[in-house]
Amino acid sequence: MTVARIDARFAALKDEGRPGLVVFVTAGDPDLETSLEVIKALPAAGADVIEIGMPFTDPMADGPAIQASGLRALGGGQTLRKTLDLVRRFREGDKATPIILMGYYNPIYSYGVPKFLADANAAGIDGLIVVDLPAEEDDELCLPALAAEIAFIRLATPTTDDKRLPTVLTNTSGFVYYVSITGITGAASPDATKVGAAVARIRRHTDLPIAVGFGINSPEQAAAIVEYADAAVVGSAVVSLIGKAAAEGVSGAPVAARVSEFVARLAAGVRGVKRNAA
């Protein structure tokens, strides 16, 4: 199903006349079984799309909370192979929720691009966000991913001007991820009005849905963002909950319950913003 699963989800959101909620968690954080419990609970809590971070030792866009989650996962023995297996196990009970892998190119390159794409497809992954691969390097992974029917979702930022934007959007599929602030994840809160202007500018260049992330930490902020965007992305606030539970020695289903309670509040905020149904 791959790209079609993302397209179908955003089409359904449009039919329902509401924006969406994308939730980010790091694979294997703080351990593989707890991570699976959390991910399996997200759709029922209100996540429309799940982003799963591939733990990496040298991130360039991740703030302290997500960096810490990556280190917890790596410390627990998480690998890219285990991340793919995590998604495969999730898919045994959920065939509908889009799954996006987000991270950096080095682990994929080391794994081997053809084998990675084949295994990702078999696991049920729908899209990739690879932060450190610019449009000029599409031959490396983007074009092979598209050929494998896996969406390649690109980031646009406040510094992506009208001259650069068409290049960024070339070969982008699934949705466009607009980074609401300049800087790393969780570093600051976005200005919804500025985000609205940026989203309007991007819409002049593409018909793809636009999801906005970085710095969204509360139901109120998420609701303010989806006044303009098709979906809000929340990551640092969620992985911080997982980190707090790990520090308390809590694992498994109780962690999933804590995350679900927070995600349900985020979803309620997002779903309170109505639009005319398609």
Catalytic residues: 51, 62
Separation between Cα atoms, residue 92 and residue 202, nearest integer Å: 36
Q: Where are the beta strands (DSSP E) in 93-234?
A: 99-103, 127-130, 151-152, 155-156, 176-179, 210-213, 231-234
Separation between Cα atoms, residue 176 and residue 118, nearest integer Å: 24
Q: Which two tokens stand for residue 13?
A: 């959101």
Separation between Cα atoms, residue 115 and residue 112, nearest integer Å: 6
Q: Which two tokens stand for residue 166?
A: 């068409």
Tell me the residue length of the chain.
278
Separation between Cα atoms, residue 39 and residue 141, nearest integer Å: 26
Q: Which residues pair with 25 in a beta bridge?
A: 52
Separation between Cα atoms, residue 74 and residue 219, nearest integer Å: 30
List Cα–Cα distances, 66 to 20, 174, 216, in angstroms: 22, 24, 14
Q: Which two tokens stand for residue 19?
A: 């924006």
Q: How far apart are the first and last CA of the chain?
A: 23
